[in-house]
Amino acid sequence: MSQAIRTVAVIDIGKTHAKLIVVDCESGRELASRKIANRVVSGPPYPHYDTNALWRFIVEGLAELNTTPGYQAISITTHGASAALLNMEGELAMPVLDYEFTFPSEIVEAYDAIRPEFAETFSPRLTGGLNLGAQLHYQRECFSEAFASVSTILTYPQYWAHRLTGVAANEATSLGCHSDLWRPFEGGYSGLVARLGIADLMAPIRSAFDVLGETTPTVTQQLGLPAPVPVYCGIHDSNASLLPHLVGFGLPCTVVSTGTWVVCFAAGGQAVDLDETRDTLVNVDAFGKPVPSARYMGGREWELATRTLGPVTPESEWASVDDVIAQGQMLLPSVVAGTGPFPRANGGWRNKPLTDEGRRAAASLYQALMTMTCLDLIGSRGPIVVEGPFAASRVYRAALANLSGRDVYASASNTGTSLGASFLIGTKSKMLIERVNDPIVDLDAYANTWRDIAERIHV
C-alpha cells in the first residue's frame, strides 16, 4: 500500500442498494458513507439498471466525500451476473440488463443448446439472466443491430472503473461468477465465448489488485480533486467479502456472505461431487484461485418472509426460539422458487407461528438451515465467518454454530464488501469478529425434521 493512500473511497453497487464508503486503510474503519436504492428501469428495450442515476450518485457522492473525510484512491465492488456493452465511442451500446429478467422460451432453449457442460465451467444453469452468457446470447439474438455496434464487453465493476479512467478491463472474480464464460481451474475463457462470437470483444483480463489508471481530467474536475487519484480494477462483491478472511484465517476457512444473496465459500475446499441442479458452483477468488461455493437468495427470502411483521426486538425473537422448536413451527424451502439448494421445492409455512416474534425466529432458523445445507453440499471445512446483515442475528448465528459444531464468528463490519474492496489497495487491518457461543436446545431434532421434509418436497 502506498504511504500516500490513507483512505480509500469504495463504490459498492449491490443488487438492492448502491453505496459509497470511505475506509481508513490502517484501521479498516468506515469513516463516511452514502446510500441509494439501485433502481431497475422496466424498459425499453428490456429491464435494465439506471446507470445514469448511479453515475450521478457516484459523482455527487465522491465530490462530497472528497471534502470530508477525503480519499486518495478509489476501489470498486459490484454484484455479479452483469456486463456492460460499449460502442466505439466508449458509451453503452445497450443498457445493462437486469439479471432477474426472464427470456422468451425459444431463446432459453437455443441458449441451452450451446452453453458449456458443468464439468467445464462449474457454472450451474440458473434462472433468467443469472448466467451472464445467457444475457449476451439474448442481446445478440434479439437486438442484432444494436449488438453489431458493440466493440468492447466489460464485467460490471470494471465498467465503473472505465467510466472513471477510460481504461477497459475484465476481471476473473466476475467472469468466474456462474457466467458460463470461464473455466475456473484453467483460468481462461470457456468455449461459449467463441460460440457467441465475442472473443475479440472481451476487454483484456486484469487482476483485481491492479491500478487500471487515474481518474480522467474530466472526472477529476467533477469530483473536485486537487489531482487525479488511482482507480483499482475492482472485484465481484461476494469475493470482496471473502478476501479479508482469506488474508486473516488462511486455508481452509468458510465465509458466508449475506445480502440479497447468501453466498457460501469453502475456501481451500475441493470441487468434488458438486450438484449443478442445487445452485452449487465454483467461484474464483481475488487471487484467481477456484473456490467451491453455494448460494441462495437469502436476503430476498428474508424480506418476503418478514415484511408484514411489526417491530420485533432481538430479545423477543431470541426468547421465542425454544417455543418455535418445541412446536415444530418452521418455514420450508424455497421462498424464492428456482434458486438455492432446493430449487424445485415450494414448502411455505408448517405450523405457522401465531406471533410476530415466533415468525421472525422461525425465519432466522430457516436461514441457518439453508446455509448449513449449502455448506454440506460444498464440503465446507474450517472456521465459519458470517458477514453482512445476517451477522447481526443472534438466532441465525447461534443456530449455525450449533448445527455445524464448528467455530462460528460474526463480523462486526456492516459492509464487508466495502472493506474487502479496500483490501485491493493494501488494507491489512484485522477483521472485527465475535465468536458465537449461544446454545439452542433440541435444535438437532428440529433440523432433522426440516431436512427430511425439505428433501421430500424437493421433487
User: Residue type at 292?
Assistant: P
Give residue-wise pLDDT tens across range 264-277.
999 988 766 899 99
The residue that leads in pLDDT, 437 or 50, is 50
H/E run at residue 84:
strand 83-86
CA quadruple 200, 191, 289, 164: dihedral positive or negative? Answer: positive
What is the Cα–Cα distance from 122 to 186, expressed in whole angstroms?
Answer: 12
What pLDDT score does 1 carry? 45
What pLDDT score does 2 carry? 47
Q: What is the band of 91 on the pLDDT scale with cuts at 50, 70, 90?
A: very high
What is the Cα–Cα distance from 433 to 241, expressed in whole angstroms?
Answer: 13
Q: Is the pLDDT of residue 56 over 50?
A: yes
Range with the largest mean pLDDT of 28-32, 268-272, 325-329, 383-387: 325-329
Q: CATH number of the domain at 238-457, out of 3.40.50.970, 1.10.3720.10, 3.30.420.40, 3.50.50.60?
A: 3.30.420.40
Q: What is the band of 3 on the pLDDT scale with cuts at 50, 70, 90?
A: low
Please state the pTM of the whole predicted model: 0.86
What is the Cα–Cα distance from 30 to 205, expressed in whole angstroms?
Answer: 30
Q: Is the pLDDT of residue 431 over 50?
A: yes
Please report where in the chains the cell 446510500 appears, as a residue: 35
Burial of 375 (C-beta count, 10 Å sphere; 0-12/13-18/19+): buried
Domain segments of the chain as ranges: 7-233, 238-457
Non-local CB neighbours of 231 within 8 Å, separated by 6+ positions: 73, 74, 75, 76, 161, 164, 165, 211, 212, 213, 214, 215
What pLDDT score does 268 carry? 87
What pLDDT score does 271 carry? 65
Q: What is the band of 243 on the pLDDT scale with cuts at 50, 70, 90?
A: very high
Q: Does domain 7-233 have CATH number 3.40.50.300?
A: no
Non-local CB neighbours of 130 within 8 Å, separated by 6+ positions: 81, 99, 178
Instruction: Please list, residue by residue across 71-93, b when 16 or more beta carbons sit within 10 angstroms of its beta carbon and e when fewer do.
Output: bbbbbbbbbbbbbbbbeeeeebb
In the chain, % of residues over pLDDT 70: 98
Q: Which 8-state DSSP code applies to residue 205?
A: B
* φ, ψ dihedrals at 212, nearest 5°: -70, -30
Question: Are 174 and 208 spatial neighbours (Cβ–Cβ below 8 Å)?
Answer: no
What pLDDT score does 24 carry? 92
H/E run at residue 111:
helix 105-114
User: Are 7-233 and 238-457 the same fold in CATH?
Assistant: yes
Choose among 365, 363, 407: nearest CA to 382: 407
Q: Which whole number is the average pLDDT over 100-110?
A: 97
